[in-house]
Structure 1
């Protein structure tokens, strides 16, 4: 079935779309990442246990997986741009809901915000594919903006709350205002969605899994997400156990975030250039795997020696691998709505699997009293990640029949 005609791509419109994509990306992490620095004050105010407070940080990842399949269905009904606008409205509403006094509202708001971000996670890359003939560079900017948004939330949430004197609720509310700004920037480029609805093919996203290529993309994104969320959750603790001071361990996490942003920009940008030349992205998959191998091996054998090197290399692998996974969804899809469907499937399964990473690594640590088995498991998981990435990085797209 014929795909929706793209809007007129003048240079001014493309610049406006790029700005809108960046502002939306900056919104996709702060409302959730900003909770972690506030957990101490939040627990003191609400009386939550450590387990229940930890659930607030685990819920978003589960929501990313659970709500991802909803995104392509929503896009089919109202159009890509309108669906992203709706996600920003829900993000603002979820953030506002968390400010209400009942503790149940805190969790309900987290679920609403997590679901809203899940929709944007899936649909913004599909929108980029529709608007840009060569989406690699824009996907790089988008992926880097995700990292920047997370870093801003981690670093500014507490100082912002102290400066405004609003407490932890006020700190979260400030990030909700960012969603309002993003909506104002996004609406001029959203369109009515009429063309998308007219051109939307029938079928469900899960039908894509009849094709091996979709499974490879899904598995690569899932294995990469386990690496990302698994070690990110425990990296400071691992380094403190290795003998580093707590402040130094926190600094290492910041190093991983910064190098991750660099990898997130370079991965899709280079992937797009390879695509233009008619080549696949296998060299980039190899680089990501090599960085993971070097970083994890260093943390396994000498975590207290040349720590900044291992963490920086691992950060490049994290950022580059995640961004490359998102970009493969775009490049392996023939149309924007196919990209939305593949993104919905891949992110649903990938994030649900990733949510187990911190739990499994923590359990292995409790059983063994160290981190060797946990890091060893991550090294073993590089094998299926390599197999999936090697197949997903071929210069092919899903067959037309996959859209039906």
Structure 2
């Protein structure tokens, strides 16, 4: 059985932890969502070719996948709380470097920001499982709502900040202030837990986790649904302009879609509790995603605002459920941390192919219909793995220390 040392327990109160969780969550999307609205200005000022612009949208998502597996390693050596402080510090540094405007610093800052988000986003689900075990799935919905709000603020304020601060570089750098605020609050109010007096019981090695089909089902669902999310962040305005909408309207349509994600992210875990497992909720949110893409890119123009809301409801709920599955499919916080590293590492590496693929498709002259059909195929792939990952199963260790599924 797994034991937890009393010394390892966090002294922070439940309401304060929720506030800190929300503040950290707000920092984990503006670095990604604030970039897309500014791409035309960046391209015009820096002279970067379309392929390099596409790489700039793909790099942070790829970094999420590459650096997420680093989180459990850091956690074991520094503690979860100190590791999260380090991630926020690196995030602020990366956002600051992007403000230097030169292409080399823009890519370097984006790489650091993506790495920091990959580590922080992997640590938080395990922390939620540790601090709020009885309501970990519902609190994951609150955390996901904070992520969505951060994404909406990044997308909506990118152009106004550029106008107010004098350029796209200052707009990108401005988000470093929020990261510094999060770092100060986290460092001051969430002190690191004392090291445990005894080595905790093993909860399954990463190698054992890689042999579990359930772990891969959650990972692949995360990967396919996340690829759709980052396609929206990186390319939806461009696709809508290709359909014939104006740039301003395309931006508003994306903004509405991202804003609608807030309520869906909070409601989806509650909806998932109504059934015996999460399969009905997962099927519902993915159906909304498919309907939203079809309406926006191929459906009647009069339905475009409804399509934006459908897409937002589906994507907010889909991402919230993906994070909820990490805590629902594991029996304890340590195992949740390891699964989180695997799911967000391999999942985001797969997700990085989404925006890269759309960029290549546009460069090759694919029609809007062909791109839409490709997006619907990704939704179908996500649905296949969602129906497997959504079953009522849980990874746990038996008395002999072996990783099993029950």
TM-score computed with the length of structure 2 as normaliser: 0.88
Matches within 5 A, 1:5-404: 5=5, 13-100=13-100, 103-132=103-132, 133-165=134-166, 167-187=167-187, 188-192=189-193, 194-195=195-196, 198-199=199-200, 201=202, 204-271=205-272, 273-274=273-274, 279-299=276-296, 301-364=298-361, 369-400=366-397, 401-402=402-403
| Cα separation, 2, equivalents of 1:115 and 1:218 | 19
CA contact (8 A) 2:94 2:109 kept: yes
Pair 1:294–1:164, CA change in 2 (3 A): closer
| Cα separation, 1, equivalents of 2:91 and 2:61 | 15
**3-state secondary structure, aligned to 1:254:** helix
CA contact (8 A) 1:200 1:337 kept: no
C-alpha RMSD over aligned residues: 2.7
| Cα separation, 2, equivalents of 1:299 and 1:173 | 32
CA contact (8 A) 2:292 2:310 kept: yes
Post-superposition offset of 1:124:
0.6
CA contact (8 A) 2:25 2:150 kept: yes
Q: Deviations over 1:184-205 (max 9, x none)?
A: 2212224235239942738653
**3-state secondary structure, aligned to 1:306:** helix
Gaps of 5+ in 1: none
Pair 1:265–1:341, CA change in 2 (3 A): same
CA contact (8 A) 1:80 1:193 kept: no
Post-superposition offset of 1:87:
0.7
Q: Deviations over 1:16-60 (max 9, x none)?
A: 100100000111112333233344444455443343344322210
Gaps of 5+ in 2: none
Aligned length: 397
| Cα separation, 1, equivalents of 2:297 and 2:225 | 18
| Cα separation, 2, equivalents of 1:364 and 1:159 | 30
TM-score computed with the length of structure 1 as normaliser: 0.88
| Cα separation, 1, equivalents of 2:54 and 2:198 | 40
Post-superposition offset of 1:128:
0.6
CA contact (8 A) 2:10 2:131 kept: yes
